[in-house]
C-alpha cells in the first residue's frame, strides 16, 4: 500500500492526476486513511472535480479531524464557493460567496486547471450544451471566480430559463465589480421580466440608455432562443391583438356594423388601457414607445395613447395622438369624442374657451329631421339615414333587404331615437356641418317644411315617430363611383365602371331605386362619382321619365365638367331640378389643375355661366350651390371662391374640411390637413379665414366654422 501511495504522489507531481487517483484508490481499497483520502481529494481537485474533492476531504476529516492539511484544503476549497459552514463539518446548502474574499489557492490545484475547465465550458456552450456548460462553469467558479465568468454563468442560466439563478449570477458580478454597468443592465432587464419594476428601475438608472438597450437585446435574445418567454412588451402587443375590436356583449348586427364602418373603437381602447395600466416603470414606458411605433398600422393605438396622455393631463401630447387617429379614420366617433373632451380640458386649463363648449346643451335643444326623410345607398349596398361620413351606422343593405325592411329597421329606429333624446350619439360632432356650424333647428320650434310633406306634417319634433310610413322622401345614390376626374382629396385613380360593374349595378340597385322613386320627392345623384360620366347613372336618368315619376325632382351634385345644355336636353331635366351643387374646390386655374385632376377650368366657368343663365334668363327655379373641400392645396382660394359664387349668383357656398377617405397614407393626409394646428401653414389658413369675404351671408362655413371662431377656440 505504501508503494502504491508513493507511486501516486509521484504521478501527481508529474501532472498525471488520473493515474495518481488510480493509485490512491488502490490504497483506499486496502485500507482507508485520512491522509490517503486527502491526497485522493487533492488529485480530484487538480482534475477539476471539485465535488469529488470536497467529498474526499470531508471523509479525510471524518477519519481524522486533526488532519491539518485536509482541514486547510477544505477551507480553501470551500472559500472558493463561499460556504464557511462546511469548514466546520456542517452540511449546509451552498451560499453566494461574499465579495472581497481571498483568492483561493488549493495546495493541490495547478494554476492552469481552472483555465482548462473554462475552455471546455466555453466549447460546450458554443455547441449549445448549455446545461453541461453551466455545470462545468460552476466548477470553474469554485476554483477561481471572476466577474466575467459569473456573467457567463448567469447568461447560461438565462438560456436555461432559470431566472432566479441568473439573477444570483448577475448580482455576484456586481458584487465583484461594482462598476460593471452591463451586469446592472442585465439585472434590470431580468427584473422587468420578473415583474419587479421598481427594483428594475433602480438598476436601470445606474447605467446609460445605450448599455441598457444593448443588454436588453442580449437578454431578450437569450430568452427567445429557448422559446420559453417573451419580452413583456411583445407579450402586451400580442395580447392586444387578441382584444376584440367591438364589445362582444353587443348584438351581433351592431358588432358587424361597427366592424364594417369602424366607427366605435371604445371597447378596444378601454381594454388596451386596462392592460397598459398593469405595467410599471420602464416596462410601461417601453410599451408606450412600442405602441407609438405601431400607430401607422393601427390608428386605434393613437387613441389609446391619446387617452393615456389625457389621463396624465398632458393634453398637448394627447391632442397630437387623437388628431392623428381622427386623420387616419375620421369616422371613428369614439376617437372624435376623446378629441372633444381633450380639447375642452386643455381649454379649461389655459382659460381659453373651446369650440365644443356647450355642445351637449346645444344638441339637447336641437333637432335634425334628416333621418326621417333621407335614405342613402352606398357603393356596397349598405344604406344610411344621412351621409355615412357624418352618421356611420347603416340601417340595412339594399342588395339583401327590401326598402320597407331597411327604412324602419331596428337601427333606423335607434338612430331616430338618438335625435329625439338629444344625444345625437351616432352623429359626427366634427364633420356634420349642421352640428359643427350650429345650424340645426331648435327642438321646440316647428321643424321647417321638409322636402317631403309627411315630415312637415309631423309638426313639433317631439311628435316625430321612430317608425316612418311611406318610405324616404329623399333618396341619395352614392354607389356609382364612376367619375371623369381623379381629384387627390377624393381618390388616387380614375375610375370608370366596366361592363360587369355596370351590369351588377343595374341588377342590384335599379329595382330598389325605381321602387323608392315612386314615393320619393327628390333623388340626389351622384354622391360617389359624376352622374353624367357614368353609363349606369345616365341609364337610370333615362328611366326616370317625367311621365312615370311626375313628382320627382333631382338634386344634382356635379363637378360641372359635363353639366351643360346637352345634358339638360338629353335627360329632360328642364323644370325637374330642385338643386345643383357644383363641387369646384378652386377659384383659380392653377389651383383647379391640381385639385381637379383631368378637369378644365374654362369649361367649368362656361357651364356655371350656363347654369346661371338658365335660372336668370330662362325661368329655371333650382337652387344653385358651390362647394369647396378645404385643404393645403386650395385654402388660399377661399375668398376668391366667394367672389366666383357671387359672379354666378349662387344661393350658397359650402366649405368643408378635407377628410381621409382611406385612400391616403397618414403622411399624405397630414400634408393636406391644413386645419390641423400642427400643419406648417395653419396660421396662414387662420388668417385666410379672417377674410371679410367669408362673412358673406351666402357662405356656409360648415365644418370649417369652428376655425373661424375667436382665438383660443381652435383647438381641434
CB of 366 to ligand SF4, least distance (A): 8
The string of DSSP letters for 600-636 reads -HHHHHHHHHHHHHHHHHH----EEEEEEEE-TTTGG
476: helix, strand or coil: strand
Nearer residue to ligand SF4 within complex by CB, 368 or 540: 368
Using CA atoms, how far apart are residues 344 and 305, in angstroms rounded to an integer?
A: 18
By beta-carbon proximity to ligand SF4, the closer residue of 333 and 517 is 333
Asked if 373 is part of the footprint of ligand SF4 (rule: CB under 6 A), the reply reads no
Residue 370 touching ligand SF4 (CB under 6 A): yes
Q: Which of 133, 212, 368, 582 binds ligand SF4 (CB under 6 A)?
A: 368
Compute the distance between CA of residue 12 and CA of residue 266 in angstroms, rounded to an integer: 78
CB of 484 or CB of 627, closer to ligand SF4: 627
Position among 291, 295, 326, 391 found at the interface with ligand SF4 (CB under 6 A): 391
DSSP conformational letter for 442: B
Long-range contacts of 386-390 (CB under 8 A, 24+ apart): 386/427, 386/432, 387/476, 387/527, 388/261, 388/331, 388/478, 389/330, 389/331, 389/428, 389/431, 389/659, 390/427, 390/428, 390/431, 390/432
Identify which range of 91-99, 366-374, 575-583, 628-636 contacts ligand SF4 by CB under 6 A: 366-374
Q: Which stretch binds ligand SF4 (CB under 6 A): 61-69, 121-129, 131-139, 365-373?
A: 365-373
Total number of residues that touch ligand SF4 (CB under 6 A): 11
Q: Which is nearer to ligand SF4, 382 or 632 (CB)?
A: 382
Q: How many CA atoms lie within 13 A of 332 on its CB side?
A: 30
Residue 656 C-beta: closest distance to ligand SF4, Å? 12
Q: Is 371 in the site for ligand SF4 (CB under 6 A)?
A: yes
Beta carbon nearer to ligand SF4, 560 or 702: 702
Least distance CB 414 / ligand SF4 (angstroms):
12
Of 106 and 427, the one with the shorter C-beta distance to ligand SF4 is: 427
CA 240 to each of CA 277, 334, 409, 509: distance values in angstroms, whole numbers, following the listed order: 13, 18, 34, 40
Find the part of the chain contacting ligand SF4 (CB under 6 A) among 264-272, 383-391, 449-457, 546-554.
383-391
Whichever of 427 and 485 has its CB closer to ligand SF4, that residue is 427
Contacting residue, 79, 386, 477, 520, with ligand SF4 by CB under 6 A: 386
Beta strand 396-397 with 382-384: parallel, antiparallel or unpaired?
A: antiparallel
Site stretch for ligand SF4 (CB under 6 A), options 46-54, 120-128, 224-232, 384-392: 384-392
The Cα-based distances of 96 to 90, 113, 115, 180 in angstroms read 17, 22, 22, 18
Closer of 11 and 555 to ligand SF4 (Cβ): 555
Least distance (Å) from ligand SF4 to the CB of residue 391? Answer: 4
- Which one of 308, 334, 372, 390 is in contact with ligand SF4 (CB under 6 A)? 390
Window of 171-179, 385-393, 676-684, 702-710 that interacts with ligand SF4 by CB under 6 A: 385-393
Q: Smallest distance from the beta carbon of 429 to ligand SF4, in angstroms?
A: 9
Q: Smallest gap, in angstroms, from Cβ of residue 419 to ligand SF4?
A: 6
**Which contacts (CB < 8 Å, 24+ apart) does range 284-288 have?**
284/197, 286/232, 286/233, 287/232, 287/233, 287/236
CA 431 to chain centre: 22
Q: Which stretch binds ligand SF4 (CB under 6 A): 210-218, 426-434, 557-565, 702-710?
A: 426-434
**Beta carbon of residue 370, minimum distance to ligand SF4 (angstroms, whole number):** 4
Q: Which is nearer to ligand SF4, 48 or 702 (CB)?
A: 702
Range 360-378 burial, b when 16+ CB lie within 10 A, else e:
eebbeebbbbbbbbbbbbb
Shortest Å distance, C-beta 692 to ligand SF4: 28
Stretch binding ligand SF4 (CB under 6 A), from 207-215, 258-266, 363-371, 532-540: 363-371
H or E element at residue 396: strand 396-397
Identify which of residues 217 and 444 has a Cβ nearer to ligand SF4 in the complex.
444
Q: In what order do the strands lie in the sheet with 699-700?
A: 396-397, 382-384, 374-378, 474-478, 522-525, 553-558, 577-583, 623-630, 652-657, 699-700
Positions 427 through 466 that interact with ligand SF4 (CB under 6 A): 427, 432, 434-435
Residue with cell 436555461: 160
Helix or strand holding residue 555 (H, E)? strand 553-558
Angstrom distance (rounded) from CA 346 to CA 319:
9
**Least distance between ligand SF4 and beta carbon 716 (Å):** 18
Q: What is the closest distance, in whole angstroms, from the C-beta atom of residue 364 to ligand SF4 in the complex?
A: 13
Inter-helix orientation angle 299-311/333-350, to 10°: 30
Q: CA of 360: how far to CAs of 464, 533, 589, 704, in Å?
A: 21, 43, 42, 20
Asked if residue 564 lies in contact with residue 533, where contact means CB atoms within 8 angstroms, the answer is no
Q: Say whether residue 424 binds ligand SF4 (CB under 6 A).
A: yes
Residues that bind ligand SF4 (CB under 6 A): 368, 370-371, 386, 390-391, 424, 427, 432, 434-435
Amino acid at each position: 500500500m505504501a508503494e502504491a501511495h508513493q507511486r501516486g504522489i509521484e504521478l501527481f507531481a508529474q501532472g498525471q492526476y488520473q493515474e495518481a487517483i488510480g493509485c490512491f484508490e488502490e490504497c483506499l481499497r486496502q485500507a482507508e486513511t485520512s491522509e490517503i483520502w486527502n491526497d485522493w481529494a487533492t488529485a480530484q481537485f487538480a482534475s477539476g472535480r471539485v465535488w469529488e474533492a470536497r467529498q474526499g476531504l470531508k471523509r479525510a476529516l471524518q477519519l481524522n479531524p486533526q488532519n491539518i492539511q485536509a482541514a486547510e484544503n477544505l477551507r480553501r476549497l470551500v472559500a472558493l464557493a463561499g460556504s464557511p459552514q462546511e469548514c466546520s463539518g456542517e452540511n449546509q446548502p451552498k451560499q453566494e460567496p461574499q465579495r472581497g474574499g481571498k483568492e483561493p489557492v488549493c495546495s493541490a490545484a495547478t494554476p492552469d486547471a481552472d483555465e482548462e475547465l473554462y475552455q471546455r465550458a466555453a466549447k460546450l456552450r458554443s455547441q449549445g450544451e448549455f446545461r453541461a456548460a453551466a455545470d462545468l462553469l460552476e466548477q470553474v467558479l469554485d476554483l477561481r471566480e471572476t466577474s466575467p465568468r459569473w456573467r457567463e454563468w448567469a447568461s447560461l442560466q438565462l438560456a436555461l430559463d432559470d431566472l432566479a439563478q441568473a439573477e444570483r449570477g448577475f448580482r455576484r458580478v456586481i458584487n465583484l465589480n461594482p462598476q460593471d454597468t452591463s451586469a446592472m443592465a442585465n439585472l434590470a432587464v431580468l427584473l422587468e421580466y420578473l415583474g419587479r419594476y421598481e427594483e428594475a428601475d433602480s438598476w436601470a438608472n445606474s447605467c446609460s440608455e445605450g448599455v441598457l438597450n444593448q443588454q436588453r437585446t442580449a437578454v431578450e435574445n437569450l430568452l427567445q432562443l429557448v422559446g420559453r418567454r417573451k419580452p413583456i412588451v411583445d407579450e402586451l402587443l400580442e395580447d392586444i391583438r387578441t382584444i376584440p375590436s367591438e364589445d362582444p356583449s353587443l348584438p351581433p348586427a351592431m358588432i358587424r356594423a361597427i366592424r364594417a364602418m369602424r366607427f366605435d373603437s371604445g371597447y378596444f381602447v378601454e381594454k388596451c388601457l386596462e392592460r397598459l395600466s398593469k405595467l410599471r416603470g420602464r416596462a410601461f414606458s417601453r410599451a408606450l414607445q412600442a405602441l407609438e411605433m405601431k400607430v401607422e398600422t393601427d390608428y386605434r393605438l393613437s387613441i389609446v395613447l391619446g387617452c393615456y396622455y389625457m389621463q396624465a393631463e398632458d393634453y398637448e401630447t394627447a391632442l397630437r395622438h387623437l388628431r392623428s387617429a381622427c386623420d387616419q379614420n375620421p369616422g371613428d366617433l369614439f376617437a372624435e369624442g376623446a378629441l372633444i373632451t381633450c380639447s375642452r380640458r386643455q381649454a379649461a386649463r389655459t382659460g381659453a374657451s373651446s369650440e365644443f363648449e356647450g355642445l351637449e346643451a346645444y344638441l339637447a335643444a336641437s333637432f335634425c329631421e334628416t333621418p326621417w326623410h333621407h335614405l342613402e345607398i352606398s357603393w356596397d349596398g349598405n344604406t344610411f339615414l344621412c351621409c355615412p361620413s357624418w352618421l356611420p351606422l347603416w340601417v340595412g343593405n339594399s342588395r339583401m333587404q327590401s326598402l320597407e325592411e331597411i327604412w324602419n329597421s331596428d337601427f333606423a329606429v335607434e338612430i331616430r331615437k338618438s335625435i329625439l333624446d338629444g344625444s345625437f350619439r351616432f352623429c359626427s360632432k366634427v364633420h356634420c356641418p349642421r352640428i359643427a356650424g350650429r345650424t340645426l333647428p331648435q327642438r321646440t320650434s316647428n321643424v321647417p317644411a321638409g322636402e317631403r310633406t309627411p315630415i312637415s306634417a309631423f309638426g313639433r319634433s317631439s311628435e316625430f315617430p321612430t317608425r316612418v310610413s311611406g318610405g324616404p322622401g329623399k333618396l341619395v345614390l352614392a354607389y356609382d363611383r364612376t367619375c371623369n376626374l381623379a381629384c387627390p382629396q377624393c381618390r388616387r385613380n380614375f375610375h370608370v365602371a366596366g361592363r360587369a360593374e355596370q351590369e351588377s349595378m343595374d341588377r342590384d340597385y335599379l329595382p330598389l331605386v325605381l321602387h323608392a322613386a315612386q314615393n320619393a320627392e327628390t333623388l340626389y345623384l351622384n354622391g360617389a362619382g359624376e352622374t353624367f360620366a357614368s353609363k349606369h347613372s345616365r341609364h337610370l336618368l333615362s328611366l326616370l321619365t317625367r311621365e312615370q315619376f311626375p313628382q320627382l325632382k333631382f338634386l344634382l351634385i356635379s363637378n360641372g365638367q359635363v353639366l351643360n345644355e346637352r345634358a339638360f336636353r338629353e335627360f329632360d331635366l328642364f323644370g325637374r331640378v330642385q338643386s345643383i351643387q357644383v363641387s369646384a374646390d378652386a377659384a383659380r386655374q392653377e389651383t383647379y389643375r391640381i385639385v381637379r385632376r383631368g378637369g378644365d377650368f374654362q369649361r367649368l366657368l362656361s357651364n356655371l355661366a350656363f347654369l346661371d343663365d338658365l335660372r336668370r334668363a330662362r325661368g329655371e327655379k333650382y337652387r344653385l350651390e358651390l362647394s369647396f373641400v378645404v385643404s393645403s392645396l386650395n385654402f388660399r382660394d377661399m375668398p376668391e371662391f366667394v367672389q366666383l359664387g357671387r359672379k354666378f349668383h349662387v344661393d350658397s357656398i359650402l366649405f368643408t374640411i378635407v377628410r381621409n377617405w382611406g385612400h391616403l397614407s397618414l403622411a399624405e393626409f397630414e400634408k393636406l390637413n391644413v386645419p390641423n394646428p400642427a400643419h406648417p401653414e395653419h396660421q396662414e389658413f387662420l388668417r385666410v379665414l379672417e377674410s371679410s369675404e367669408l362673412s358673406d351671408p351666402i357662405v356656409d362655413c360648415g365644418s370649417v366654422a369652428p376655425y373661424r371662431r375667436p382665438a383660443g377656440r381652435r383647438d381641434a
